[in-house]
Amino acid sequence: MHAKEHRGRDYTPLFKFLLAHVGKPWNEVYSEAVSRLDRADPIFWLVALTECDRDEFVRAGESSYYSGLYVDDSGLLQRVNPKLGPSSLAPECKCCTHTFNGVRFTQPFRLSEFSLEPGSNSET
């Protein structure tokens, strides 16, 4: 088995290539993508082959997020959730620059994310 790790390798260009070809025939996108790579599996970090593998977004590295993709019934590459964008997710921490499809998150980091609303349920 070739269990070689490719950690630290940057697949940003591949992910951007895939995103730029949403709506295009998957066969063509795949063969072009695979011809530029030494291995095919990073393609499937973003592209789900089965329905249960579909994710709205995929995390690549510490703070880079990308749209989850799939192939529709007519063989076209599609986003799992086309509405998802840089304003959809909140950053997990303050120290990193979080990006969605290469675009910076528009939501600020908030510590109050999990705090309860005060005075909404007063029992006396």
Residues at the site binding Zn ion, with contacts judged by CB under 5 A: 93, 95-96
Q: Which residue is nearest to Zn ion (CB)?
A: 96
Residue 21 tokens read as 């070809």
Q: Between vectors from CA 28 to CA 22 and to CA 32, what angle results, nearest 5°? A: 95
The C-alpha atoms of residue 82 and residue 124 are separated, in whole angstroms, by 47
One-letter amino acid of 14:
L
> Residue 95 or residue 116: which is nearer to Zn ion going by CB?
95
Q: Max alpha carbon distance in the chain (Å)?
A: 69
In this complex, which beta carbon is closest to Zn ion, that of residue 95 or of residue 111? 95
Instruction: Give least dist CB 63 to Zn ion, A.
Output: 6
For Zn ion, give the closer residue by CB, 1 or 93: 93
Least distance between Zn ion and beta carbon 92 (Å): 7
Nearer to Zn ion, 26 or 65 (CB): 65
The distance of closest approach from Cβ of residue 50 to Zn ion in the complex, given in angstroms and rounded to an integer, is 33
How many other CB atoms are found less than 10 A from the CB of residue 102? 13
